[in-house]
Structure 1
Amino acid sequence: MTTDSQAWVPESCTLPSGQRPLRLAEFDNLFATALLGQQRLSPTELLWRLDPSAEATARDLIGRESSCCSFFSFTLGVDAGTLCLDVQVPAAHVDVLDALALRAAGPTA
C-alpha cells in the first residue's frame, strides 16, 4: 500500500471520490503544519500531538471526516499545553488508520 493510493478508503466512506484527494491534502497540511508527534496506542488507536494553534482546523476537519466515515472516533483534548487528537477505529478499519499514520509520518516513513 502506498500513501498516495486510495485503495485503503473503505466502501463505507460517503465522501464523493472526486473530493477524497482534497480531504487527504487537508490531512497532509495539518500534519505538515501542526503535527508535533504521533503514538500508536494500539492497532485500533492512534494519538496525534498537535500545535494548539491548529485546534479550529483540526475540529473542522475531524467533524467533516466523521460525517463521511462514521467508523472513526475522534477525541480532542489538551495535555501539558499540547492539543491531543485521539483517533480510534474498529478492527475492520485498521488499514485506514495504518494509512493515516503513514501519511502523518511523512515521505520518509
Structure 2
Amino acid sequence: MSTAWVPEACTLPTAEQPLRVAEFDRLFARTLRSVRRTGPATIEVELAPDARPELDDLIARETRCCSFFAFTVTPGGSGLVLGVTVPAAQTAVLDAFAERLAR
C-alpha cells in the first residue's frame, strides 16, 4: 500500500502512517460518491451521510499530525461534502490525495 500522499511534514510516526492511509481508504471505499477539484489547493469530496462519525474522527486526528490540512464538512446534496484545502506549498500532497481518491 502506497503512502505517497503522506507528506514529509506529517508528525504521525512512520509505522502508523500506512494504518491511517488504510483508514481513509476504507472510509472512502464505502462512502465516496464524487471528487471535484475546485482549485489548485482545494478539492471537494462528496460522501454518503453515514460517513460523518468516522470522518469527524479521522479528520480530527489527521489535523493533529498534518496541521497544514484544512478540512470542512458540510451537508451537500444527499450526503456530506468534505472540503480539503492545503497551502500552495503543499499542493503536491493534495494532488496525491486526490489521485488516491480517483482509484
TM-score range with shorter-chain normalisation?
over 0.9
The 2-side partners of 1:32 and 1:5 are apart by 16
Q: 1:81 offset after TM fit, Å? A: 2.4
Match in the other structure for 1:47: 44
Q: 1:5 offset after TM fit, Å? A: 4.7
Match in the other structure for 1:96: 93
The answer to whether structure 1 residue 32 and structure 2 residue 29 are counterparts is yes
Please, what is the CA RMSD of the aligned residues?
A: 1.3
Report the TM-score, using the length of structure 2 for normalisation: 0.94
The 2-side partners of 1:55 and 1:67 are apart by 18
Distance 1:103 1:73, change over 3 A: same
Deviating above 4 A after TM superposition, structure 1's stretches of 4 or more consecutive aligned residues are none
1:1-109 equivalences in 2 (<5 Å): 4-6=2-4, 8-106=5-103
Aligned length: 103
Give 5+ residue unaligned stretches, structure 1: none
Judge conservation of contact 2:71–2:85 (CA < 8 Å) in 1.
yes
Give 5+ residue unaligned stretches, structure 2: none
Q: Which amino acid aligns with 1:65?
A: E
Q: Which amino acid aligns with 1:63?
A: A
Report the TM-score, using the length of structure 1 for normalisation: 0.89
Secondary structure, counterpart of 1:75 in structure 2: strand
